[in-house]
Amino acid sequence: MIKKCLFPAAGYGTRFLPATKSMPKEMMPIVNKPLIEYGVDEAIQAGMTDMCIVTGRGKHSLMDHFDKNYELEHQISGTSKEALLTDIREVIDSANFTYIRQREMKGLGHAILTGRELVGDNPFAVVLADDLCINLEEGVLAQMVALYKQFRCSIVAVEEVPAEETHKYGVIAGEALTDNLIRVTDMVEKPAPGTEPSNLAIIGRYILTPDIFDILENTEPGKGGEIQITDALLEQAKNGCVLAYKFKGKRFDCGSVEGFIEATNYCFENVYKG
């Protein structure tokens, strides 16, 4: 039912400089697989077939990764190393990849709006690939798609974070519908310490209904002078319904060095070896 997944991947990745000076953050490998491929795997597992990637300058390697490399394939054809390409070949064969460039970095909301042409008038998922989500039974997007089928409204994934961390995130407040589902009534982007409406932080997984695009068109730059998806979602919540979902699984902020190392250790033990 939700076939399209948007990957905003145009950011500068300044927290990981100098590694991200000429390499997209989304191409940094967790063990032997780039971050974005984990996100694409999660979207495919949730039944999605169209991967819409918002890129920027210097992000060519993203496109190359989801394309054939004939010279390399010819070189290792018939050798034991060929098996290392099995997974990515399957990914390339099971999804369509389209790209659009965000010419100016005006924030996540603007990156999502830039993807409008690729997404069209359909509900769609958003994955921020630097938030790596691992749940071995059912991926976080698959959990959210199941909820969307029931509620048919925008859904954001949230996680409880320590109070001193809330200033890094969009933070929600709302009415609990069940143990893991909240109807959003308020949403603040990067609240100043002590002003956070709760300890529930939005992480990089969303299901959005397409009316978000018209709202984003009319959203003024907010925190940091950027067009914020949280401002648009709050508008949507006021006029209709936005749900926040406490997902099952582990999430690593791979845009930070600490999160990246934790994810690497975890995936080496539980995904790569397992």
Site residues, ligand UTP (CB under 6 A): 8-16, 25, 54, 102, 105-108, 110-111, 128, 130, 255
Which is nearest to 7 in space by CA: 59, 58, 85? 59
Shortest distance (Å) from residue 70 CB to ligand UTP? 29
CB closer to ligand UTP out of 13 and 249: 13
* Measured distance CA(96)–CA(67) in Å, rounded: 10
Shortest distance (Å) from residue 222 CB to ligand UTP? 13
* Measured distance CA(208)–CA(90) in Å, rounded: 27
CB closer to ligand UTP out of 14 and 77: 14
Which is nearest to 264 in space by CA: 21, 22, 33? 33
CB closer to ligand UTP out of 15 and 183: 15
Shortest distance (Å) from residue 26 CB to ligand UTP? 7
Shortest distance (Å) from residue 64 CB to ligand UTP? 18
Helix (H) or strand (E) holding 53: strand 50-55
Shortest distance (Å) from residue 43 CB to ligand UTP? 14
Nearest residue to ligand UTP, by Cβ distance, number only: 11
Query: 3-state DSSP: the chain helix, strand, coil percent, rounded to 5?
Result: 40, 25, 35
CB closer to ligand UTP out of 181 and 254: 254
CB closer to ligand UTP out of 12 and 268: 12
CB closer to ligand UTP out of 129 and 234: 129
The tokens of 269 are what? 């033990």
Which is nearest to 51 in space by CA: 133, 131, 141? 141
Shortest distance (Å) from residue 126 CB to ligand UTP? 9
Strand 181-189 relative to strand 170-178: parallel, antiparallel, unpaired? Answer: antiparallel
The tokens of 189 are what? 């982007």
CB closer to ligand UTP out of 181 and 206: 206
Exposed / middle / buried, residue 241 (Cβ in 10 Å: 0-12, 13-18, 19+): middle
Shortest distance (Å) from residue 73 CB to ligand UTP? 29
Q: Left, alpha or beta for 249 (phi > 0: left; psi -120 to 50: alpha)?
A: left
